[in-house]
Each structure stands twice: as C-alpha cells, then as structure tokens.
Amino acid sequence: MDPREEKMRIREEVWERLVRSGAALPPFPVRGRIPNFRGADAAARRLVESEVFRKARVVFCNPDSPQRYVREAVLRHGKTLIMASPRLREGFLILDPGRVPEEEYRYASTIRGAFAYGEKVLDSLPRVDLKVAGSVAVDRVGGRVGKGGGFSDLEYAILRTLNALSDETPIVTTVHDLQVVEKVPMDVHDVPVDYVFTPTTHFKTARAYPRPPGILWERLREEDLREIPVLRILAKR
C-alpha cells in the first residue's frame, strides 16, 4: 500500500476506534483533527512528572485540544510556552508566565488566550528545550502520524532551520492508549517522537527513524510559501 494511503487508513481506524469506545471528547467530529480524548489530563500529568519536562525551560507545544493541559502546566511551572499560530499564518506565539496573571493560565493555554497574552514573532525564537507534538497515531519505534496537514513536521523544520532546536531536543506526544498502533510508515520529512505519554503509561520509543535536517525546500508547495510568512523570510536567506 502507498504510504500516504496507509497513513490515511491508520487515521480513519484510530478516529473510529476512539469514537466507538467512547474515549473521544469534543470538539466533534474527531475526524480530521488531533483527537481530544478521555484522560488527556492524566497523560499530561505523566509528561509533567517526567525528567524531560522538569529539565525544560522553554517548551514548544501544539495548539490542539488534548494538549491544552500540557500548555497550562507549562505556564504553571514557570516555563516559557511557545505555540504555533493556526496554519503558521501569523508565525509563533511566545507566552512568558511572568506576564500572565496566574488566574488566567487556563485561558492563556487556549488559542484565543494565547493570542491575548502571547507575543507574536516570526523568526526570532528562544532555544526550545522540549517539543510537544499532537498525534493521531504513534508506534513504539517513534513513528507518528498527524491529521494530515503536515504542520507539525513543518514547525520542526522551521525551528531546526532557525537553530531553535537540535537533533537532540526531545520530542514527545500525549495520546490515548488506543492511539498506539503497530506501525506508522514514515517519509523523509516526517519527524519521529522520542517519548509517548498516555493516561495509563509512558514509554521511550526506539526512535528508528532519522529526523529531517531542516526545511526540505523541494517538498514545499507554492501555497506554503505564499501563506506562511516565516517561510518567505527564510527563503530569502
């Protein structure tokens, strides 16, 4: 089977599995999304208790619903939070917990709240100590598949090109146990994960796949350059 078709088959299977089991939570429909799930808060707590989280001072986290608990925890633990704006069209949002009232941490961890309290930047980012990715499915050797837009991989490529992270920067995800599958096919632009946290357990992956070295310009679409300002800036360099 073509890898793209196999990834779509995995997505459809996981979305259906979450809904059928009652593990899926709003927003609905889960199809086409990084799915929210029962126990997302417990998975986040496992991450927060980990050494990779404790050691991090700057955390980059995806803006999807199941990782909201992670984003709030980043702020509550006094760490700098970086989020990508939707589809990267307005660059990145940097949230300094010292500039957010404590009673507003929960709101600031939402997309709307991040725009209210965060600083918008395009190509000037602090060094990232930990990257949190949203996932539709993962396997035990680091394979990961998102919802199909390619933005998580592109975020990593941009951060790598900006020297905001390295090949050694830990990449983690929080998922439901039902999102752990046998095998996810990986392409050269796909970014593997190092740690997986679920409501019931966590594990370090074998990381059987290399990370891309940065932006693979030959794989970008014209619309990416047209719609994502930071790519235009980096292309001129």
pLDDT 10s digits, 189-229: 999 999 999 999 999 999 899 999 999 989 898 888 889 99
Predicted TM-score (pTM) of the model is 0.95
Whether the per-residue pLDDT at 163 is higher than 90: the answer is yes
Dihedral angle at the C-alpha atoms of 173, 143, 25, 108, nearest 10 degrees?
Answer: 30
CATH class for domain 3-236? alpha beta
Distance, CA of 188 to CA of 29 (rounded, Å): 30
pLDDT > 90? residue 46: yes
Q: Residue 223 has what pLDDT? A: 87
Helix (H) or strand (E) holding 213: none
Percentage of the chain modeled with pLDDT above 70: 100
Asked if 121 and 94 count as a contact pair (C-beta separation under 8 A), the reply is yes
Beta-ladder partners of 58 = 80
Beta strands (DSSP E) in the chain are: 24-25, 36-37, 58-61, 80-84, 92-95, 119-121, 130-133, 137-138, 144-145, 171-174, 195-197, 202-204
